[in-house]
Amino acid sequence: MIFQDWHTHNSLCSHAIGSIEDYVKKSIEKNLNLIGVSDHFPYECLKGIEEIPYEEYAMKLENLEPYVSTVEYLREKYQDIIEIKLAFELDYIEQQVNAHKPYLKKYFKQIDYILGSVHILLGKGKMFAFDDNRFLNDYRLYDSMNEIYIDYYNTIQNMIISTEFSFDIISHFDLPKKYNKRPEDEGLIAEHVDRTLDLIKTKDLTVEINTSGWRKEVKEQYPSKDIIKKMYELDIPIVLGSDAHHPNEVGFNFNEAIKLVKKIGYTQLAYFEKRKRKFIDL
């Protein structure tokens, strides 16, 4: 069985526990074939971040260099035991889609892939970190959960069609369900999901099956089974990610996730090297 974890964090982002090497060692212990080190790209390059506890959201700019060199060092050190990929989880923030570029540019040749994520919505004129429980009060700024879901999928669509924001994999596709807050009108939101999936297909992007939802109130992977079925119909490629914020979480629930995607029909997983996609058999 192939176990590749394309989404992991470490203590550099200030809200995860353990060094990068701790995650690598745990991955080896759990018989993973590959670990993608994909920590949160720095927020300091963004404007308006004083509205959010950004220092707890991502690594600092000064840590970019040590981060990259550590991953490259570990890649060599463990090359006979496990494959290690270098990545970033990059946040898409409306109106600031270029802010990270001057800092990211330097590492373009080394990066294996980029996770594109939406954790922040701007629909009500200020930064709303909807997946941080400290922002649960701000849900009241919206008239309904429908409105939040629509704002979210519109933002994801803008990320996908942006000619400036370059990424390979969409992380935790239906993240607004994290606290099990469901849209009032599932049918309406399904239309927004369908439109988003069509764009993903057009742009030939990959979607992550993220198992961290099983550790959250929603108690299921991202995206939902229904959405994965639609992805399969559209022949949209997938990878697995645990979104580990503790070494023990690498490869979390991968047996269940693989069972699920196989049952839906998937026979292959995507694989990235220096931002080129290949496929491997499940």
Q: Which residues bind Zn ion (CB under 5 A)?
A: 9, 117
Q: Which residues contact 85 (CB under 8 A, 6 or more apart)?
A: 6, 34, 35, 36, 37, 112, 113, 272, 273
Task: State the nearest-atom distance from the C-beta of 84 to Zn ion, in Å.
Answer: 19
Task: State the nearest-atom distance from the C-beta of 208 to Zn ion, in Å.
Answer: 9
Task: State the nearest-atom distance from the C-beta of 245 to Zn ion, in Å.
Answer: 6
Residue whose structure tokens are 């995860």: 16
Task: State the nearest-atom distance from the C-beta of 80 to Zn ion, in Å.
Answer: 30
Give DSSP secondary structure letters for 226-268.
HHHHHHHHTT--EEEE--BSSGGGTTTTHHHHHHHHHHHT--E
* 3-state SS class at 178: coil
Task: State the nearest-atom distance from the C-beta of 233 to Zn ion, in Å.
Answer: 26
CB of 117 or CB of 242, closer to Zn ion:
117
Phi, psi (deg, nearest 5) at residue 27: -65, -40
Q: Which residues contact 69 (CB under 8 A, 6 or more apart)?
A: none
Cis amide leading into 176 (omega within 30): no
CB of 4 or CB of 117, closer to Zn ion:
117
CB of 9 or CB of 25, closer to Zn ion:
9
CB of 9 or CB of 246, closer to Zn ion:
9
Q: How far apart are CA 118 and CA 129, in angstroms?
A: 9
Task: State the nearest-atom distance from the C-beta of 171 to Zn ion, in Å.
Answer: 5
- Please, which residues bridge with residue 120 across strands? 129
CB of 178 or CB of 230, closer to Zn ion:
178
CB of 166 or CB of 268, closer to Zn ion:
166
Position with the least CB separation from Zn ion: 117
